[in-house]
């Protein structure tokens, strides 16, 4: 069901150096939950999220830094979540977050739109036990987790260079945040896949 990329995780995937993070704080926020996926895999499908629990966004508005650089992925649910945080009283509500495709969820290609329960019944589990395929294997007409790591790192590098010493809030996705944590720790992709983040949770990487 998967297609090898032919490119293994290599030494080019080095951990971020001290210069990338000294004085620069990345605040990663996972988007609000998607309720109306019909029980299907959605990946990069642009489905809306549920921002009805206002107390959640009020808490985020209190926790997240002010005078920060605000970034979202290019998917609507990330932009929706940022807008809900601003509407809940965050002082940076006058800002227009920069939308970056580098931080989109993993593109699961032909698997997007398939019934989730049926799909998982029919796939062979990955030896890692954390996901259903190896991190370097691509979904048909989609991405591998290593592809996601590569573009997440490119986005982090770009922001770290442009905004050194700043607070940077990035509203993104579970896969993207998993990759960012792994990059910061300098661990192999298989180990990165063990991380999980809840919807509307905050992960800070300094």
DSSP structure class, residue 115: B
pLDDT in tens, 133-192: 789 989 999 999 999 999 999 999 999 999 999 999 999 999 999 999 999 999 999 999
| Residue 14 pLDDT greater than 80, yes or no | no
| Residue 28 pLDDT greater than 70, yes or no | yes
> What's the Cα-to-Cα distance from 34 to each of 81, 94, 98, 112, 198, rounded to whole Å?
11, 26, 22, 14, 12
Architecture of the domain spanning 16-205:
3-Layer(aba) Sandwich (3.40)
What confidence score (pLDDT) does residue 100 get? 99
Residues near 87 by beta carbon (within 8 Å), at least 6 away in sequence: 57, 93
pTM reported for the whole predicted model = 0.85
Residue 36 and residue 34: Cα distance in Å, rounded? 6
In the numeric block, which tokens belong to residue 28? 């990663």
- What are the sequence ranges of the domains in the chain? 16-205
pLDDT in tens, 62-116: 999 999 999 999 999 999 999 999 999 999 999 999 999 999 999 999 999 999 9
Let me know: does 110 contact 141? Beta carbons within 8 Å.
yes
What confidence score (pLDDT) does residue 11 get? 36
Better-predicted residue by pLDDT, 177 or 124: 177
What confidence score (pLDDT) does residue 134 get? 83
């Amino acid at each position: 069901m998967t297609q090898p990329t032919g490119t293994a995780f290599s030494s080019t995937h080095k951990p971020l150096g001290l210069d990338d993070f000294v004085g620069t704080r990345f605040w990663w926020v996972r988007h609000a939950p998607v309720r109306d996926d019909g029980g299907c895999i959605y990946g990069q499908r642009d489905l809306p999220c549920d921002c009805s629990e206002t107390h959640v966004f009020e808490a985020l508005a209190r926790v997240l830094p002010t005078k920060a650089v605000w970034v979202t992925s290019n998917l609507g649910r990330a932009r929706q979540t940022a807008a809900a945080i601003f509407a809940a009283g965050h002082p940076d509500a006058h800002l227009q977050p920069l939308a970056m495709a580098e931080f989109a969820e993993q593109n699961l290609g032909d698997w997007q739109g398939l019934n989730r329960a049926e799909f998982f019944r029919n796939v062979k589990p990955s030896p890692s036990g954390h996901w259903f395929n190896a991190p370097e294997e691509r979904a048909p007409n989609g991405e591998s987790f290593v592809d996601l790591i590569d573009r997440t790192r490119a986005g982090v590098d770009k922001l770290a260079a442009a905004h050194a010493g700043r607070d940077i809030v990035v509203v993104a996705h579970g896969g993207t945040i998993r990759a960012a944590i792994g990059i910061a720790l300098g661990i192999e992709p298989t180990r990165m896949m063990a991380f999980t983040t809840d919807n509307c949770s905050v992960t800070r990487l300094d």
